[in-house]
Amino acid sequence: MTDADYMREALRVAAHARGRTSPNPLVGAVIVKDGRIVGEGWHRKAGTPHAEVHALAMAGELARGATLYVTLEPCAHYGRTGPCAKAVAEAGVKRAVIAMSDPNPLVAGKGIEMLRQAGVEVEVGLLAREAARLNEVFLLWIERQRPFVLLKAAMSLDGKIATAAGDSRWISGEESRARVHLWRDEYDGIMAGIGTVLADNPSLTARLPDGTGRNPVRIIVDSQARTPPGAKVVQDGLARTVIAVTEAAPAERVSALAEAGAEILRAGRGPQVDLVMLLHELARQEITSVLVEGGGTLNYSMLEAGLVDKVAMFVAPKLLGGRSAKTPVEGMGFQRLNEAAELTELTAQGLEGDMLLTGYVKNAKMPLWLRLPGEQAGK
């Protein structure tokens, strides 16, 4: 096996904890000695041992003189846990192959330097793009101090999200809806507009077949605090619910929602919620990723503000028609073609008749993994 093969194994095990490590990154580690994997591990949850610690514990004395493959630079500071770079050096690891450095200012090269100072041979950059793609949420949260945003919508082949009469259940198929619940389980927050709440009274929870789904924080964009205190997102107690309002929201409505158990977040003076302010506040609360399941108005507002990083569009093989039928992106609309939200890195996947199209928004800053040079060749 080559260096690249071992790093791919580290990336594979890192993904086991997808959706569980926030606000920490996904990290996998593999220890190899004499051509044999003697230890591997992955970070499972913030506040628990990091990937390197798990791998070192499995390897034991075999770590001495071995090579460590790790998907992100080992930390060098005392936080919720001790510095992994120190543990790696003390275990006698001879060589460390690191996919990419950690942009977190608390780390940012310090772990690499600690290893080199201890006499460990360090190589950085193997499969860096793959490692950055795996941690696109963490990297964007660190770089821009706001959550990574995935905008999801389901539409008919002619671009409608509901019939002219408002019937929208269900445009997409069962497998497509199951995929959405997996995303809800993985993302820290789920965002919807007040129009969706008033029209559908959704729960916005993760409903997985085995019942193990982790419910995201529910974020309702509601400038005038029109959410009914009896709405499911307020009353069901299944997850935190944050209602974003403006300073202009009627005080009695705000008080009623707070008394019913919702958390009120004031973002802007009005008339609309300041979405930039909202996302920065969510990031401060260590909400590192948000799944937007809004209607056409919220979707346009997020795109127009340049706050969407990735789009996932389920396209069902149905033609609905209707001049007044709603579409995934409404609002004022982009007036010129060169202003449109254009996607790059577009992929297509079939899901029981539906087509899932995903891509990154080109007129937003490119995700870090797209800006990295090609990875080094495996040895």
Contact 265, 244 (CB under 8 A): yes
Contacts of 242 (CB under 8 A, 6+ apart): 189, 217, 218, 219, 220, 262, 263, 264, 265, 282
Contacts of 211 (CB under 8 A, 6+ apart): none
228-242 burial code (b ≥16 CB/10 A, e <16): bbebbbbeeeebbbb
Q: For residues 301 and 341, what is the distance between their CA atoms, to the nearest angstrom? A: 12
Q: Is 52 tagged catalytic?
A: yes
Contact 117, 88 (CB under 8 A): no
Contact 176, 313 (CB under 8 A): no
Q: Give the other-Cβ count within 10 Å of 331's Cβ.
A: 15
Closest to 291 measured CA to CA, from 168, 204, 171: 204
Contacts of 27 (CB under 8 A, 6+ apart): 14, 21, 42, 43, 50, 51, 52, 70, 71, 72
Contact 300, 333 (CB under 8 A): yes
Residue of 9, 40, 52, 186 with catalytic role: 52
Q: Give the other-Cβ count within 10 Å of 345's Cβ.
A: 14
Active-site amino acid positions: 52
